[in-house]
Amino acid sequence: MSFSVTKLAPALVGPCEPTPSANLPLSPIDRAPGMRHLIDLFLVFGSGQHPAKVVREALSRALVPYYPVAGRFVVSDNGELNVACTGDGVWFVEASANFSLQDVNNLERPFMIPKEELLPCPPPQVKQEDVLLTLQVTEFACGGYVVGIRFNHAIFDGIGVAQFLKAIAELAKGLAQPTVEPIWCREAIPDPPKLLPQGPPPVFKPLALEQSILDVSLDRIDQIKNQFTSETGQRCSKFDVVSALVWQCRTRATNLEPQVDVHLAFTVNTRRLLQEVLPKGEGYYGNCVYPMAITAPCEKIKIASIVEIVSLIREAKESVPTKFSKWVKGDPKEGPCLVPLEYGSLCVNDWSQVGFYEVDFGWGGPIQVAPLTEDDLVPWCILLKSAAPMQGVRLLLRCVLKEHLEAFRDQMMTLV
C-alpha cells in the first residue's frame, strides 16, 4: 500500500470577533537568547467526527481571549521583541490520509511516514522564525486524527501551549468560554540580569546521537520512591527517580574519565514563585521556567546509590526558590544554571505532566503525544506516558553515541 497525505493550502484562521490592537511586550524570559525557535509535536487521537472543521472553528473562537497569538512579532523602539496584536490569525492546514492509524502502528516510533506530512507549514513567503503558532489536523481513513502543532517558544512554554490547546478543546466541546482565563501580563516579570552574554551565539558542533525508546514500569519507580522515603524520611517524585536512573546509566555507559565532570540539567516551573507579581490563579501562558543543573565527577555518579543521586536532584530543586528570588532581584552571583553543550551533559524534560494528555476535543484524549525534537547539541531525555494499557513512563532518548547505545540499554535493563 502506498501511504499518502493530501494537504489543502494553508489558510489563516483569525479571531471570530474583533480583538484589541496593541503592541505587547514579552517577558525577559521569553526574550532570552535562543527562545525564538519553533517546537514541533503532534497529538494522536483514536477517533473523531469532522475534527478539522471542529478544531478550526474552535481555534477561531479561542483566538478571541488569546488574541496575541493571532498577532505578529515586531521590534520595539528600544530594540526589544514585542508582539503586535494585529488579528492576522494563525496558519491552519487541513489534511487527509489514505490509510489508517493502525497501518502506521498508531505513529509509534520509528515513524512509518515522514513526520513533515503531519506538521503544518505556512506559505513559502512566511519566515519560519516569525510564526507564533501553526496547526494541522490530519484525518485518517479509520476515523482517527492527528493534530500537528508548531509553536514558538518565545510565546509559550510547554504548560502555556497545553493551556491554549485545552482552551481550543473546551470550545470544541461546546463551552461558551475556556475554564481558565488567559493572562498575558509579561511585563510583570522582573527584568533580571541577562540569561546569557550578549553578542553572536557561539557555534557548536552537533553530536551524532542515537535515538531510542525505553519504558520504566510504575512498579520499579514506586519501589525506588519507597526506598528513598525509607532511607531519608522524605518524599521524591517520579521525575526525580527516572532522571536519576537515566543519568547514572548513561554516565556508566559513556565511560568518561573518572575525574571528568558530568552534568544533569532540567527546568523548574516558577509560576508559584511569581505569585507576588502575576495575577492570582492559573492562566499565565508565557515562559515561566528556570534552568537548574547539577554537576558532579563522573566517578561519583557511577558508584553512587540511586537514593544518593535522587537526593542530589531533590537538593537542587529545593534550592530553586532562593536562587530564583535572588536572580530576579538582580543578584549578579545568581542566575540560571546552564550546562555546557557537550557529551558529558544530559538535559531531562518531563512532558507527561505538562497538560498535553488532557487535551480532549470531544472524542477522548490523545492515545499518544509525540515531541519531534532532533536537537543534537546536547544529549537529552523526554519523559512521556507509557502507551496504554501499560502504566509508567516512556522515555524518548537521544543521549548516547552509537558506540555507547548497547551499553546504555544494558545498564537501563539492569536498573529498571
Catalytic residue set: 153, 360
Long-range Cβ contact pairs of 278-283 (< 8 A, separation 24 or more): 278/183, 278/185, 278/188, 278/189, 279/183, 279/185, 281/181, 282/163, 282/180, 283/163, 283/180, 283/181, 283/182, 283/183
Residue 52 is inside which H or E element, if any? helix 51-62
| C-beta of residue 301 within 8 angstroms of C-beta of residue 309 | yes
Provide the grid cell at 88: 492576522
Residues 284, 27: Cα–Cα separation, whole Å: 12
Confirm if 230 and 305 have CB atoms less than 8 A apart: no
Query: Closest by alpha carbon to 383, among 209, 266, 208, 222?
Result: 266
Q: What are phi and psi of 247, to 5 degrees?
A: -60, -45
* Buried-exposed string 38-73: b where 16+ CB fall within 10 A, e elsewhere: bbbbbbbbbebeebbebbbbbbbbbbbbbbbbbbbb
Q: Rounded to an integer, what distance in angstroms lies between the CA atom of residue 45 and that of residue 365?
A: 7
DSSP sequence for 271-314: GGGGTTTSPSSS-B-S--EEEEEEEEEHHHHHHS-HHHHHHHHH
